[in-house]
Chain A
Amino acid sequence: MAYSEKVVDHYEHPRNVGSMDKDSGDVGTGLVGAPACGDVMKLQIKVSPEGIIEDAKFKTFGCGSAIASSSLVTEWVKGKTLDEAAAIKNTDIAHELALPPVKIHCSVLAEDAIKAAIADYRKKSGQGEDEAEQAAG
Chain B
Amino acid sequence: MTNITLARAPGQPIYLDYQATTPCDPRVVEKMIPYFFEKFGNPHSRNHRYGWEAEEAVEIGREQVADIIGADAKEIIFTSGATESNNLAIKGVAHFYKDKKDHIVTVVTEHKCVLDTCRHLEQEGFRVTYLPVQTNGLIDLAELEAVVTDKTAIVSVMAVNNEIGVIQPLAEIGAICRKKGAFFHTDCAQAVGKIPLDVNAMNIDLMSISGHKLYGPKGIGALYVRRRPRVRLVPMINGGGQERGMRSGTLATPLCVGLGEACRLAKAEMGAEGERLHMLRDRLLNGLKARLPEIYVNGDLEQRIPGNINISFAFVEGEGLMMGVKDLAVSSGSACTSASLEPSYVLRALGLDAEMAHTSLRFGLGRFTTEADIDYAIGHVAEAVEHLRAMSPLWDMHLEGVDIKSIQWAEH
Contacts and interface: CB of A to CB of B under 8 A. Distances in A.
Question: In which size bucket is the chain B interface?
Answer: 20 to 34
Tell me what chain B mostly uses at the interface: helix, strand, loop, or mixed.
Answer: loop
Given A34-B412, A37-B341, A64 B320 contact: yes
A60 B392 contact: yes
Contacts, number: 90
A33 interface: yes
B393 A31 contact: yes
A1 B339 CA distance: 13
Nearest to A116: B410
Tell me what chain A mostly uses at the interface: helix, strand, loop, or mixed.
Answer: mixed
A36 interface: yes
Given A3-B323, A34-B409, A102-B337, 8 more contacts: A8-B323, A33-B410, A35-B394, A36-B353, A61-B316, A63-B323, A67-B320, A67-B391
A19 interface: yes
Contact of B317 (A3, A63, A105): A63
12 contacts: A3-B323, A11-B323, A11-B324, A33-B410, A36-B353, A36-B358, A37-B341, A38-B317, A39-B412, A62-B317, A64-B320, A105-B412
Nearest to A8: B323
Contacts of B395: 61
Interface string A1-43: 1010000100100100101000000000001111111111110
A109 interface: yes
A19 B187 CA distance: 50
Interface residues of A, number: 31
Contacts of B323: 3, 8, 11, 63-64
Interface in B39-65: none
Given A17-B390, A61-B393, A36 B411 contact: yes
Contacts of B355: 35-36, 38
A36 B359 CA distance: 10
Nearest to B332: A63
Contacts of B409: 33-36, 40
B315 interface: yes
A38 B396 contact: no
B147 interface: no
Contact of B393 (A3, A14, A36, A60): A60
A2 B411 CA distance: 27
B6 interface: no
B273 interface: no
Contacts of B338: 102
A19 B410 contact: no
A63 B393 contact: no
Interface string B381-399: 0000000001111111000
Interface in B309-361: 315-320, 323-324, 334, 336-339, 341, 343, 353-355, 358
Contacts of A38: 317-319, 334, 336, 341, 343, 354-355, 358
Contacts of B411: 34, 36-37
